[in-house]
Amino acid sequence: MTLIEIAVATAIIGIGVAAIMVAATSTTLVSDAGRKLTQAIFLAQEVREWTLKLPFSDPDPGDEDNPPGPDGAENPQTAVDDLDDLMDVTYSPPRDGQGVAISDMTGWSQKFTLTWRNRDNLAQTVAAGASDVINVQVQIEYRGRNILTTSWIVTGRDQS
């Protein structure tokens, strides 16, 4: 009888220890996911701040007739002087609120997608450059895995 009681007690203790190990592993995974989401939100806020400060149209008279999109052939775009220069650009390492690379965030990237929207119906997409309303979407990735995708609207500011 005593040997059976010891075996049952050992099994119960073993199950309890295994449950504690699973809980500890789950807590670590949830904590890591929360940390990555916090980093991604920070990176999205940084580039949102940057995009809201950029001129809506190109200030360089030589680029005035260029179609919307990056002015140079470089990707990622290094000389961003207006909002449409971020069209379909990916930054890795990511950029901060001034457009400067954050070199200690290896593995992170920011992918931009710009779509022009109808001023009277923001759900309607129009041709690039055909409106003064742009939906800026940024996808934040860590080591190729999407962590956060968010977007915001930027409108052309009256220059008068």
**160 falls within a domain:** no
Domain of 17, in residue numbers = 2-155
pLDDT tens across the length of the chain (160 residues): 688 888 898 999 999 899 888 888 877 777 889 999 999 999 999 999 999 999 988 887 777 777 787 776 666 677 788 999 999 999 999 999 999 999 999 999 999 999 999 999 999 999 998 999 999 999 999 999 999 999 999 998 654 3
**49 falls within a domain:** yes
User: 109: how many CB neighbours lie within 10 A of its CB?
Assistant: 20
Tell me how far apart the alpha carbons of residues 91 and 121 are, in angstroms, rounded to a whole number.
30
**32 falls within a domain:** yes
pTM (2 decimals)? 0.79
Map residue 74 onto helix, strand or coil.
coil
Q: What is the dihedral of CA 31, 35, 37, 38, to 10 degrees?
A: 130
Task: Provide the domain count of the chain.
Answer: 1
**100 falls within a domain:** yes
**97 falls within a domain:** yes
